[in-house]
Amino acid sequence: MTDKPGIVITGASGRMGQMLIRTVLDSDKARLVGVVERAGHDWVGQDIGAAMGGAAIGVTVTDDALEAFSKAQAVIDFTAPEATLEFAALAAQARAVHVIGTTGMSEAQIARLEPAARHAVIVRAGNMSLGVNLLVQLTKKVAAALDEDFDIEVIEAHHHHKVDAPSGTALMLGEAAAEGRGVTLADVSDSGRDGITGARKRGDIGFSAIRGGDIVGEHDVLFAAAGERIVLRHMATDRAIFARGALKAALWGQGKDPGQYDMMDVLGL
Ligand SMILES: NC(=O)C1=CN([C@@H]2O[C@H](COP(=O)(O)OP(=O)(O)OC[C@H]3O[C@@H](n4cnc5c(N)ncnc54)[C@H](O)[C@@H]3O)[C@@H](O)[C@H]2O)C=CC1
Ligand SMILES: O=C(O)C1=N[C@H](C(=O)O)C[C@H](O)C1
């Protein structure tokens, strides 16, 4: 027997799924006890080590999430919004910590996590890296120090497979800028400019999204005024930063009271 928390990774074949599996296997603080993929995927029924092109490791990919979660102390989930909602209910049933990296969830979908959070710990963040979470704090500070003479724009770039925009990180940065300024993001958000949009409205927080190639994730927060500009920037070059943060969250959540938390709680920022 070991007291290292057992971890299940969902979305096993995904870009983040594979990175998370490697991160847990390399860790001396956690054990990989299960991996989940969607029903019908080629990898279901295969050993995950072999499916990822290496040696077998004795963990079989399953599409039975509840069965996998019932053996785990934590589930790390970077998949898609509706899958994440289903996993939240099952992780709560298994009383496993649910670490959610999935982005693109609507406000209505986020609200649907609440019943699960009454029974289990949920840690959710649009970006699990230390660097971005620090950038969020810096953004809040700079926005609080400047007035609306400074136009705030969040510019993000990601690989061409990404399906949601603005990115989860861009939204975190926009929220932080709005909070620093003492406004509600929904009231000032301006995304998806196209055509004759009219001049920029004073006080708006703008979003622009670039999609191309294999860009892991880049975020700028631009504060632009007459005669000067400040740019706060984070550049991710390796998905390992997200996986390390997610594993840290899974370990941090052990023994915590049920509820919803984020990476600020985990990192103590
Ligand atoms: N919070 C963070 O730090 C980060 C968040 N992300 C987010 O993570 C999510 C996944 O990103 P990628 O790995 O690049 O995408 P991906 O498309 O490579 O992987 C998604 C995986 O989820 C699986 N999946 C979908 N529905 C499923 C279901 N019902 N059951 C089991 N598996 C299911 C897919 O088959 C696929 O393997 C996105 O929302 C992305 O924005 C990505 C990187 C960092
Ligand atoms: O889809 C991605 O790849 C990423 N998604 C997250 C986001 O939406 O911000 C985090 C990171 O930028 C990579």
Could you say which of 98, 162, 219, 248 is catalytic? 162
Closest ligand to the CA of 78: 1
Instruction: Note the pLDDT tens digit of each residue in 109-150.
Output: 999 999 999 999 999 999 999 999 999 999 999 999 999 999
**Ligand 1, atom nearest to 17 Cα:** 13
The two most distant CA atoms of the chain are separated, in Å, by: 65
Could you say which of 158, 219, 234, 248 is catalytic? 158
Q: If you take atom 2 of ligand 2, which residue's CA is the nearest one?
A: 162
**Ligand 1, atom nearest to 101 Cα:** 1
| pTM of the full structure | 0.98
CATH number of 130-236: 3.30.360.10
List residues forming the annotated binding site for (S)-2,3,4,5-tetrahydrodipicolinate. Answer: 159, 168-169
Instruction: Provide ipTM, 2 decimals.
Output: 0.99
Instruction: Note the pLDDT tens digit of each residue in 11-48.
Output: 999 999 999 999 999 999 999 999 999 999 999 999 99
Which of 84, 103, 214 is the pocket-test mutation for ligand 2 (most atoms within 8 Å of CB)? 103
Q: What mean pLDDT do residues 222-244 have? A: 98
Where are the domains positioned within the chain?
6-124+239-267, 130-236
Told to judge if 162 belongs to the known catalytic residues of this protein, a careful annotator would answer: yes
Could you tell me the CATH superfamily of domain 6-124+239-267?
NAD(P)-binding Rossmann-like Domain (3.40.50.720)
